[in-house]
Amino acid sequence: MTAATTTRAAIVEAAARLLHEAGPDAVTTRGVAESAGVQAPAIYRLFGDKDGLLEAVAEHVLAGHVASKAAVVRAATDEGVDPVEDLRAGWRAQVEFGLAHPGVFALLSDPGRAPRSAAARAGREVLAARVHRVALAGRLRVGEHRAAELVHAAGTGLVLSLLATLPADRDPALVDTMIEAVLARVVVAGPAADGDGAAAAVALRARAADLGVLTPAEQRLLVEWLDRVVAAG
C-alpha cells in the first residue's frame, strides 16, 4: 500500500467518524486533518474539495454495507432461504442502515449525487437480485423492475420521513407496516402454480435467458410477450 493510499484511507476514516457523530457540517477540512493526523493540503490534493471528500466518505461507508448485503443474498440463495423473507430482511437492514448513518443516507439521497455513486448502483443490484429470487419462486405478481423500484422508493421515503422525526416520536411499527403494504402489492401468497397468471408469466420471464432450446431472437420475442402479459395483469 502506497503512502498516498494510506493517507487517503486515514482521511476517509476520520471524515466518516465525524460525519456519523455530528453530520456533514462537522466534516471540515481542519477537523478532518486533525483527526486523521495529516496536513490540510493533503485533503485538497487527494479529494479536490470538501464535496469530493464527502462523496468519498459516502462511497466508503455504503460500499461496506452493500458488500455485506451481497454476501447475505448469496448465503440465502445457497441455503434455500425463502426469497420473500430474504426481501423483508433486506428491507429492514436497509432502513436500519439509513437511520444509523443519516449523514451518508442524506448524501446518497441527493438526486445530484446518487446517479454517480458506484456503491448506490451496487446496492440497487443487490435489491434486484433479491427481487429476482422472488420472481424465480413464482411469487412476484409485477415485473421485476417495477417491484424493485417500489421497494426502493418506499424504503427511501420511509427513512427520510423517520429521519425528519425526533427519535422519541418515531413509530417503530412503520417499518414493518410499510414493507407489508409493498409486498401486498407485488407478491402473491403462494407459488404461481396456485393460479396467478401474472406471477406465472413473471416466473417464466425470469428464466427466459436460460431457455437454451430457444434462439436469442426467440428469447427476445418470448420476453416481449411475457412483459405484455405482466403489464396487462
- 203 in the same domain as 156: yes
List pLDDT tens digits, range 132-159: 999 999 999 999 999 999 999 999 999 9
Query: Taking every pair of C-alpha atoms in the chain, what is the biggest distance, in angstroms?
Result: 66
pTM of the full predicted structure?
Answer: 0.82
**How many alpha carbons lie under 13 Å from residue 184 in its C-beta half-sphere?**
6
Containing domain of residue 150, as a range? Answer: 49-232
- 84 in the same domain as 20: no
The answer to whether residues 37 and 30 touch, using CB atoms and an 8 Å cutoff, is: no
> Helices 144-163 and 83-100: crossing angle, nearest 10°?
30
- In the chain, the number of structural domains is 2
- 58 in the same domain as 29: no
Domain of 91, CATH number, reads 1.10.357
Quote the distance between the C-alpha of residue 58 and its chain's center.
14
Cell numbers placing 46? 487527494
- 96 in the same domain as 4: no
- 63 in the same domain as 8: no
Q: CA 201, 203, 208, 214 torsion: positive or negative?
A: negative
- 44 in the same domain as 54: no
- 7 in the same domain as 112: no
- 7 in the same domain as 115: no
List pLDDT tens digits, range 164-214: 999 999 998 999 999 999 999 999 886 654 556 788 889 988 988 888 888
| Pairwise CA distance, residues 63 & 69, whole Å | 10
- 159 in the same domain as 56: yes
- 36 in the same domain as 79: no
- 206 in the same domain as 195: yes
| Pairwise CA distance, residues 224 & 233, whole Å | 14
- 97 in the same domain as 61: yes
